Structure 1
Amino acid sequence: MGLELCLATKVDHPAIIALTNRAYRQAEGQAAWKVETIVGGQRLDEGLLAEDLAQPGANLLIGRDAVGAHLGHVRLDEGADGVWFLAMLTVAPDRQDGGLGRAILEAAETWVRARGGAAIRMTVIRQREELIAWYGRRGYAPTGETKSFPYGDKRFGEPTRDDLVFEVLEKRL
């Protein structure tokens, strides 16, 4: 399934926020490994999105179907030395299990390559082993680096446990 991504506009933000919160936080209709059940509450709001997109090199991209329906999205931030950061890969829950997540990821990789990117990095909550395995099957490997979970910052949701940490994954393009 080939998919092209286009840059999101401010008009797209409400739909992006709603879909991100639904896909990351609402288990209804999704396999358990696809939802961050270890973190409750919101995943994204207008303030967080604006803060993310204000960062230098930040890009928010949407994948749409033939009639323009929003299928999913991803944030790609250009970094130093050709290493880009991927975040918020989101697929509409009613469209999962059909290769759409893989198609968005492949389109993101194509987008980064077209801009001279040499690698993509991301963070995934270490306790989401099935998701890390999914990325592993697509060539993303742990770097050995970790990042702290933002405990106490309600903007990022409400963790249900006190041992969360982000694993840094990377794929050379």
Structure 2
Amino acid sequence: MILRPVVEADFAEVVALANLAYRGTGAGASWNVEEGIIEGQRLSDSSLREELAAKPNGVLLVWRDTEDGPLLGTAWLNPEAGGVWYLGLLTVRPDRQNRQLGRTLLAAAEGYASERGGTRIRMTVLHVRVGLIAWYERRGYTKTGDTEPFPYGDERLGKPLRDDLHFIVLEREIV
């Protein structure tokens, strides 16, 4: 497993993978797409650049088997206060799912944060993504009871197809 910070040469593959993993359709789609919830692109080159610039202490990790191999997954980590690290954009190529790659990547991302002083991982998940929430709960994450609003009017994440969306907060100790 080669897990390293993203470089500009990775951007096109990262954008393509995020859009496939979150919004892909058809036989090759991920088990946890946002179909019927949000449509359009999940990520663009410009939104990726904006996110990286806005959070200079964060890191987008890319995962490959070999340095020149295909992109297998991504994980966004951003340090917050008190040893908490935010985790987002955890993606695995849909054609490689059902091989425990998601849990492998999640554990590697948690290890990355822990090695840098992290003690907890925090994430937000759309409340209607019940299967994904259950997957994280099986990995030891718990709902905190906190919620965050969905950014209606900001279509960088895509166009919402529902008017009741919000995020729930999940956390897990990593030490």
**Cα distance between partner residues in 2 of 1:9 and 1:126:** 32
What is the SS of the residue equivalent to 1:167? strand
What is the SS of the residue equivalent to 2:73? strand
Q: CA contact under 8 A between 1:29 and 1:94: conserved in structure 2?
A: no
What is the SS of the residue equivalent to 2:118? coil
Per-residue CA deviations over 1:130-159 (Å, capped at 9, x if unaligned) read 100000000111111100011111211111
The residue that corresponds to 2:127 in the other structure is 126
**Cα distance between partner residues in 2 of 1:27 and 1:14:** 19
TM-score (norm 1): 0.94
Q: Which moved more, 1:104-113 or 1:67-76?
A: 67-76
Per-residue CA deviations over 1:22-65 (Å, capped at 9, x if unaligned) read 11001223567510111100101122111211113110101111
The residue that corresponds to 1:75 in the other structure is 76
Structure 1 stretches of at least 4 aligned residues deviating more than 3 Å after TM superposition: 30-33
| Aligned sequence identity (%) | 50
Figure out how many residues of one structure are paired with residues of the other and give that number: 171
Q: CA contact under 8 A between 1:52 and 1:58: conserved in structure 2?
A: no
**Alignment RMSD:** 1.4
**Inter-CA distance 31–133: structure 2 relative to 1 (3 Å threshold):** farther
The residue that corresponds to 1:112 in the other structure is 113
Equivalent position to 1:16, from 7, 10, 14: 14
Q: CA contact under 8 A between 2:24 and 2:30: conserved in structure 1?
A: no
- For 1:73-112, what aligned pairs fall within 5 Å after superposition? 73-112=74-113
**Cα distance between partner residues in 2 of 1:138 and 1:31:** 23
The residue that corresponds to 1:172 in the other structure is 173
Q: CA contact under 8 A between 1:23 and 1:92: conserved in structure 2?
A: yes
**Cα distance between partner residues in 2 of 1:148 and 1:12:** 30
1:26 equivalent to 2:27? Answer no
What is the SS of the residue equivalent to 1:15? helix
Amino acid at match of 1:43: R
**Cα distance between partner residues in 1 of 2:70 and 2:28:** 20
TM-score (norm 2): 0.93
Gaps of 5+ in 2: none
**Cα distance between partner residues in 2 of 1:60 and 1:32:** 21
**Inter-CA distance 77–137: structure 2 relative to 1 (3 Å threshold):** same
The residue that corresponds to 1:51 in the other structure is 50
Amino acid at match of 1:59: V
Per-residue deviation, 1:7: 1.0
